[in-house]
Amino acid sequence: MEEQKSRRVRLVLFPCPLQGHINPMLQLASILYSKGFSITIIHPRFISPNSYNYPHFTFIPIHDGISGIQASISDVLPLLSLLNVNCAVPLQDCLVRLLSDTNSAGGGEEEEPIACLISDAIMHFTQGVADSLKLPRLALRTSSIESFLAFAAFPVLRQKGYLPISDSQLETPVKELPPLRMKDLPVFNGHDQETLMGLNQLLISMVDQVKASSGLILNTFDYLEQSSLAALAQEFPIPVFTIGPFHKLFPASSSSLLSQDHSCIAWLDTQAPRSVIYISFGSIASMDESEFVEMAWGLAKSKCPFLWVVRSGLVQDSEQAEPVWPDGFLEMISGKGCIVKWAPQQDVLAHPAVGGFWSHNGWNSTLESICEGVPMLCRPNFGDQMVNARYVSHVWKVGLHLENRLERGEIERNIRRLMVEKEGEEMRERVMALKEKAEVCVRKGGCSNKHLGDLIAQIRGVSLQTRLEYK
Ligand code: UDP
């Protein structure tokens, strides 16, 4: 009876419509649903999560004013800025409608008022919308604490003249953010001055609006980022809920925007334990054609079996829908390599044949690798990936950082270091220890589990308050 009553406490979630942000938001939604909340997901129309995988959620698309070209996710910065402007009025209208529907519903079946809005931190406009409706907002940040702190430090770093980073300073330590060097700062290269100013504003707004929120939810666990927690508490004097890794509680496959090719699992079944290196650079990162060619030959020369995700858009400026393989490459790797356009990544990382992950170090990929005890080759592309790669290689020491321009001989050497040499074995031992810690954290009595309890208590508290306000 109690369960039924509490299930109707309603939460509205607003994700950022990129793969690496949708996955954790829908995992969080599933976690909260399992704790008895009802879930409504409002999302920009141009990307729809697979609602049929979540029959128990209500999905509401809103107008986003995004054209086909603007929706090109290879250039995320302008897209994020546009969404923050275009979605404000539609989100407000939608919430007003939901709030008034709830208030006017009569009889015993009426829904609880909306307890709060949970939105992606980068969708900073949502704080203003929530404030105008007197609705509490919780922010979900989908990256590591350390990279969030690095973004938060940008105004100070800019003031001190660190940014933009000059080539001669790349190796200089950033004393405000050890162990980062200038080249590990979460910058976005290759944009014009106007876009970079826009980025600056986006980051400032994100940080300010998180500070104005009722709390911050993070997909991480205390043990992993212990050293950053105190700094976070100082910089963000709001309740913080580190309740990850989310995917240990709910897998992400059902929120994949691309169709996952499961045939690679049958191929992995034919490979020896820990022999395969899995390669994926997530949903946005890209490389130029010459690096792609070096990568292909480096993999072939390593003689290590590999599973490579070559998604459309991975090779920059390629006019072709299919990648152009170097002459003789496909013949040479026959039987040794499996290539797919998109993989069921969590199942791949959990497969006993996988012994290493060559990753761009998006935060989800990094956490997923840690949680399966798989050491990494790190090749970050932009933004928070740079910070994550530094932590993987220099703090947790569970990966090797490929820092130079990709070259086949160096790739071959590093794959062998990771996959067959003692160094790789030691990294595997360290990452297995982290995997165990992650498992303990999400178990009953573990720190993430406790913080989840605190989060639920806070939501129920505000629910009570909003119920009184809307009476
Ligand atoms: N992913 C997947 N199949 C792939 C590659 C990635 O399902 O072939 C998933 C992966 O499990 C992760 C997400 O896509 O949950 C990528 O998020 P991440 O933060 O690692 O990178 P982003 O795509 O945001 O750069």
Residue 183 domain-assigned (yes or no): no
Shared domain check, 372 and 415: yes
Q: Which structural domain range is residue 402 located in?
A: 263-438
**Count of domains in the chain?**
2
Greatest pairwise CA separation for the chain in angstroms? 72
Distances (CA, A) of 164 to 78, 106, 184, 200: 19, 58, 13, 11
381 lines ligand 1 (CB under 6 A): no
Which ligand 1 atom sits closest to the C-alpha of 252?
A: 15
* Integer Cα distance of 40 and 59 in angstroms: 6
Residue 389 domain-assigned (yes or no): yes
**Pocket residue to mutate for ligand 1, from 19, 280, 361, 371, most atoms within 8 A of Cβ:** 19
Which ligand 1 atom sits closest to the C-alpha of 309?
A: 8
**Pocket residue to mutate for ligand 1, from 365, 370, 381, 387, most atoms within 8 A of Cβ:** 365
- Which two three-digit tokens encode residue 148? 């969030």
Q: How far is the CA of 108 from the centre of ligand 1 (A)?
A: 43
Over 60: is that where the pLDDT of 468 sits? no
Q: How far is the CA of 134 from the centre of ligand 1 (A)?
A: 35
Shared domain check, 199 and 72: yes
What band does 193 get if pLDDT is binned at 50, 70 and 90?
confident
Q: How far is the CA of 98 from the centre of ligand 1 (A)?
A: 32
**Pocket residue to mutate for ligand 1, from 23, 264, 311, 361, most atoms within 8 A of Cβ:** 23
Shared domain check, 95 and 18: yes
What band does 107 get if pLDDT is binned at 50, 70 and 90?
very low
Over 50: is that where the pLDDT of 229 sits? yes
Q: How far is the CA of 83 from the centre of ligand 1 (A)?
A: 21
Residue 171 domain-assigned (yes or no): no
Q: How far is the CA of 465 from the centre of ligand 1 (A)?
A: 38
362 lines ligand 1 (CB under 6 A): yes
Residue 166 domain-assigned (yes or no): no
Shared domain check, 269 and 342: yes
- Which two three-digit tokens encode residue 100? 């008034």
Q: What is the pLDDT of residue 462?
A: 73
Contact assessment for residue 356 and residue 277, using Cβ atoms and an 8 Å cutoff: yes
Q: How far is the CA of 116 from the centre of ligand 1 (A)?
A: 28
Residue 404 domain-assigned (yes or no): yes
Q: How far is the CA of 383 from the centre of ligand 1 (A)?
A: 15
342 lines ligand 1 (CB under 6 A): yes
Please write the tens of the pLDDT for every residue from 388-403. Answer: 999 999 999 999 999 9
* Integer Cα distance of 111 and 289 in angstroms: 54
Shared domain check, 455 and 346: no
Token match 């995997």: residue?
A: 435
Whose C-alpha lies nearest to ligand 1, atom 18? 362
* Integer Cα distance of 373 and 367 in angstroms: 10
458 lines ligand 1 (CB under 6 A): no
* Integer Cα distance of 456 and 450 in angstroms: 10
Shared domain check, 424 and 286: yes
Shared domain check, 232 and 268: no
343 lines ligand 1 (CB under 6 A): yes
Please write the tens of the pLDDT for every residue from 62-100. Answer: 999 987 766 665 678 889 999 999 999 999 999 999 998
Over 90: is that where the pLDDT of 467 sits? no
Beta-carbon contacts of residue 418 (< 8 Å; ≥ 6 apart): 277, 356, 375, 376, 377, 399, 400, 424, 427
- The arithmetic mean of pLDDT across residues 56-66, rounded, is 94
- The arithmetic mean of pLDDT across residues 162-168, rounded, is 88
Beta-carbon contacts of residue 468 (< 8 Å; ≥ 6 apart): none
Please write the tens of the pLDDT for every residue from 252-265. Answer: 668 888 899 999 99
Shared domain check, 235 and 195: yes
Beta-carbon contacts of residue 226 (< 8 Å; ≥ 6 apart): none
Residue 145 domain-assigned (yes or no): yes
What band does 202 get if pLDDT is binned at 50, 70 and 90?
very high
Which ligand 1 atom sits closest to the C-alpha of 365?
A: 20
Shared domain check, 340 and 217: no
Please write the tens of the pLDDT for every residue from 401-439. Answer: 999 999 999 999 999 999 999 999 999 999 999 999 999
Whose C-alpha lies nearest to ligand 1, atom 9? 345
- The arithmetic mean of pLDDT across residues 321-334, rounded, is 89
Q: How far is the CA of 376 from the centre of ligand 1 (A)?
A: 15
φ, ψ of residue 39 to 5 degrees: the values are: -120, 125
Q: How far is the CA of 280 from the centre of ligand 1 (A)?
A: 8
3-state secondary structure the chain: CHHHHHHCEEEEEECCCCHHHHHHHHHHHHHHHHCCEEEEEEEECCCCCCHHHCCCCEEEEECCCCCCCCCCCCCHHHHHHHHHHHCHHHHHHHHHHHHHHHHHCCCCCCCCCEEEEEEECCCCHHHHHHHHCCCCEEEEECCCHHHHHHHHCHHHHHHCCCCCCCHHHCCCECCCCCCCEHHHCCCCCCCCHHHHHHHHHHHHHHHHHHHCCCEEEECCCCCCCHHHHHHHHHHCCCCEEECCCHHHCCCCHHHCCCCCCCHHHHHHHCCCCCCEEEEECCCCCCECHHHHHHHHHHHHHHCCCEEEECCCCCECCCCCCCCCCCCCHHHHHCCCEEEECCCCHHHHHHCCCEEEEEECCCHHHHHHHHHCCCCEEECCCCCHHHHHHHHHHHHCCCEEECCCCCCHHHHHHHHHHHHCCHHHHHHHHHHHHHHHHHHHHHCCCCHHHHHHHHHHHHHHHHHHHHHHHHC
Shared domain check, 430 and 344: yes
Whose C-alpha lies nearest to ligand 1, atom 2? 345
Q: How far is the CA of 97 from the centre of ligand 1 (A)?
A: 34
Shared domain check, 128 and 221: yes
- CATH number of domain containing 417: 3.40.50.2000
Which ligand 1 atom sits closest to the C-alpha of 280?
A: 5
Q: What is the pLDDT of residue 297?
A: 97
Least confident of 63-77, 269-283, 450-464: 63-77
Shared domain check, 136 and 152: yes
Distances (CA, A) of 283 to 251, 262, 450: 17, 17, 32
- The arithmetic mean of pLDDT across residues 217-245, rounded, is 97
Q: What is the pLDDT of residue 5?
A: 47
Token match 């009802």: residue?
A: 38
- pTM comes to 0.94
* Integer Cα distance of 181 and 320 in angstroms: 37
Q: What is the pLDDT of residue 3?
A: 44
Residue 221 domain-assigned (yes or no): yes
20 lines ligand 1 (CB under 6 A): yes
Distances (CA, A) of 301 to 304, 315, 437: 8, 21, 36
Q: How far is the CA of 341 from the centre of ligand 1 (A)?
A: 12
Q: What is the pLDDT of residue 469?
A: 61
* Integer Cα distance of 159 and 168 in angstroms: 19
